[in-house]
Structure 1
Amino acid sequence: MRDPSVFVLGAQKCGTTTVADLLAEQPEVFVPSIKETYFFCDPARFELGTDWYRSEFYAVKAFGAAKLLCDATPFYLASSCAIDRLANFNPGSGRYIVCLRDPVDRAYSAYWHQQRLGNETLDFEQALASESERVSLARERGQRWWRHAYVEVGMFGSQLRYAFERLGRENFLILTSEDLRDIAEVQIRIRAFLGLPRREGLPSSKRSNASGRPRSRFLQDAVNRPSIAKRFIRKVVPRELRSSIGRNLLELNLKPFRYPPMNERTRGELRSRFKSDLYELQAHGVMVPQSWFSGSQHG
């Protein structure tokens, strides 16, 4: 049994699903059908141990020609505990891909994503005002605090500083949402980063995890929420198969949705909150688009 050595660390709503899908298309890379294992950032899962992690997500025999195993969980970057655990799990040998986006746009997109999942009931301004309290309470309870961490998850500069210190700057590939406009070039960069030979005939366009809303909330909850039926299915259906079925059902259940524009005053306040962190991001050698500072290209 082999361990994953390729990790898409984050951040959520920055293109991690697209990158994970691109990785899954490489015959040398295996990505589980549910790309987000949450193992290193979820206390309950981490307590199950590394043997559980390996057998739950990487025990399948269908690796084919895959030489590299991947874990793409978009909240690892924001969790110092996850970074510490990764440093101990794969000391010096891991390869880490990070996807970044204008943090203001990311925060708003993450908010509507949680609305879609049924995890958010406040309006955006209320959610921002309540973030610190909600995140602290979730941490105390060992819950998934990042669900409502709209600002905290977007502090890329401080997060990368810590990740570089613990995991080694040379082991990172940093991509931005602007980079993902040229999928063919991203494919080339990913393969070079992983030490894989260049391939011809790669797809030139791919966009995964587009925004939407569920046609049926009942179906979404049936797939996502715990239930007696799901516990039975878990015992008789292999993880890869049930994960693939669940993912396909969720995608078919989505209908297109374009969320309303952000309040401009709120946008300006967020722009100010992220500004110093963006300067730190630049100090770490990351090419930060000017629009992330000015918001001149927001949509």
Structure 2
Amino acid sequence: MSLPDFLVIGAPKAGTTALHAALARHPQIFMSAVKEPKFFLTDGPPPDRGGPGDAQTFKEHVWRRADYEALFAAAPAGALKGESTPFYLYDRQAQRRIRAMIPGARLIVVLRDPVERAHSNWTHLWSAGLEPIGDVVRACAEEDRRIAAGWSAFWHYVSLGRYGEQLEHLFTLFPRENVLLFRYRDLVDAPAETLDRICAFLGVREGMIGEVPRENVTAHPEPTLRHRALSRLVRLGVTAGRRLPGTVASRIVEPLEKVMQDNGRPRRPLGWEQRQALIPRFRDDIALLEQVTGEHFGDWLRPRDRSGGLMGDRPPGQRQARNGRPRVH
């Protein structure tokens, strides 16, 4: 069998693409060429319907075991094999499938302020013309209806950021020493130190990789008539794409997405009113996260300045966790 030794399991919009690319540069690590194979998200073929664009995404799943193992077949002898699918942390069934197939897997979890994560997630889909609601707070209010309709996990803006629930379940399946947790800001603000922590966790040589590739900043198109018209065309294209083979739909839709994002402004930070409207959706889970990890995340309940930084002094976050638990910055 050729299965991974470790997995980057979450969270979406928390730097996992850049982390995957950085780890691929380490001479003792082999990362799958397909960054998000999504193998553990299903027991067989993925569904073919969901929200706008989901059907095309489902076609990209590597769901056959032989195809999944083939992703790691070229790994050099002795290299650690890894892949990154940031939805595994959210999906409880995926957690169980990983435990059943790779019980000794080492798991890497990147935690991002859940309000900022939700906003980045919404911006990604809005800029692509897939999200029909031009306000993140109103889009989050649609989440329960979308989940009931079978929209895929990437549309679950709030639920994806409820890390306390996700980690509480994960720790019933895997020992804590098999799980490394750290904050997205660590990857951005102290990449060399954070990469060394990951290498130490994986048991490979430290000091070999010191940079994280720059992530593409999602453009934030203005809600103009032009954007609305192009968005409707995109959604019509992806709906029609359900009946088209392979990547035909992507080849039709991608030029439209590029036109929409040309000359678009970078993602704008949330205003305090929007943040205030979303924080209550995470308050109880942040308390659970602190209980589960023994770490402080109260800064996620506070306002941020225009650059996305915290207002006021940063609370203590770089301390040794209680009861020997993993340290989270």
Give the TM-score band, short-chain normalised.
0.7 to 0.9
Q: The residue matched to 2:173 in structure 1 has which SS? A: helix
Displacement, 1:27?
1.4
**TM-score, normalization: structure 1?**
0.78
Give the fraction of aligned pairs with identical amino acids, expressed as a percent: 30
Q: Deviations over 1:56-95 (max 9, x none)?
A: x233x3x34661111201111110011011110111x100
Larger helix share, 1 or 2:
1
Q: Conserved in 2, the CA contact under 8 Å of 1:155 and 1:277?
A: yes
Q: 1:79 to 1:32 in 2, by over 3 A?
A: same
Which residue does 1:90 correspond to in 2? 102
**TM-score, normalization: structure 2?**
0.71
Which residue does 1:203 correspond to in 2? 210
Q: 1:115 to 1:134 in 2, by over 3 A?
A: same
Which residue does 2:23 correspond to in 1? 23
Q: Conserved in 2, the CA contact under 8 Å of 1:27 and 1:66?
A: no
Quote the Cα distance in structure 1 between the aligned partners of 2:126 and 2:265.
Answer: 12
Which residue does 1:244 correspond to in 2? none
Unaligned 5+ runs, structure 1: 232-249
Farther-moved stretch of structure 1 (159-168 vs 204-213): 204-213
Q: Conserved in 2, the CA contact under 8 Å of 1:18 and 1:209?
A: no
Which residue does 1:3 correspond to in 2? 3
What pairs up with 1:43-192 in 2 under 5 angstroms?
44-45=45-46, 48-55=63-70, 57-59=71-73, 61=74, 63-64=75-76, 67-91=79-103, 93-123=104-134, 124-138=136-150, 144=152, 146-180=153-187, 181-192=189-200
Q: Conserved in 2, the CA contact under 8 Å of 1:282 and 1:288?
A: yes
Q: Conserved in 1, the CA contact under 8 Å of 2:286 and 2:298?
A: no
What pairs up with 1:234-273 in 2 under 5 angstroms?
257-273=265-281
Quote the Cα distance in structure 2 between the aligned partners of 1:260 and 1:125.
Answer: 14
Q: Conserved in 2, the CA contact under 8 Å of 1:6 and 1:96?
A: yes
Q: The residue matched to 2:214 in structure 1 has which SS? A: coil
Unaligned 5+ runs, structure 2: 47-60, 222-229, 249-256, 309-329
Q: Please provide the CA RMSD for this pair.
A: 3.2
Q: 1:34 to 1:295 in 2, by over 3 A?
A: farther
Displacement, 1:126?
2.8
Which residue does 2:13 correspond to in 1? 13
Q: The residue matched to 2:193 in structure 1 has which SS? A: helix
Q: 1:188 to 1:286 in 2, by over 3 A?
A: farther
Q: 1:260 to 1:179 in 2, by over 3 A?
A: closer
Quote the Cα distance in structure 2 between the aligned partners of 1:188 and 1:134.
Answer: 40
Quote the Cα distance in structure 1 between the aligned partners of 2:34 and 2:106.
Answer: 20
Displacement, 1:33?
2.5
Displacement, 1:13?
0.7
Displacement, 1:110?
0.3
Q: The residue matched to 2:9 in structure 1 has which SS? A: strand
Quote the Cα distance in structure 2 between the aligned partners of 1:99 and 1:272.
Answer: 22
Q: Conserved in 2, the CA contact under 8 Å of 1:16 and 1:74?
A: yes
Displacement, 1:280?
1.1
Q: The residue matched to 1:71 in structure 2 has which SS? A: strand
Give 1:129's aligned amino acid: A
Q: Conserved in 1, the CA contact under 8 Å of 2:35 and 2:85?
A: yes
Quote the Cα distance in structure 2 between the aligned partners of 1:84 and 1:137.
Answer: 24
Q: The residue matched to 2:39 in structure 1 has which SS? A: coil
Q: 1:31 to 1:155 in 2, by over 3 A?
A: same
Quote the Cα distance in structure 2 between the aligned partners of 1:70 and 1:47.
Answer: 15
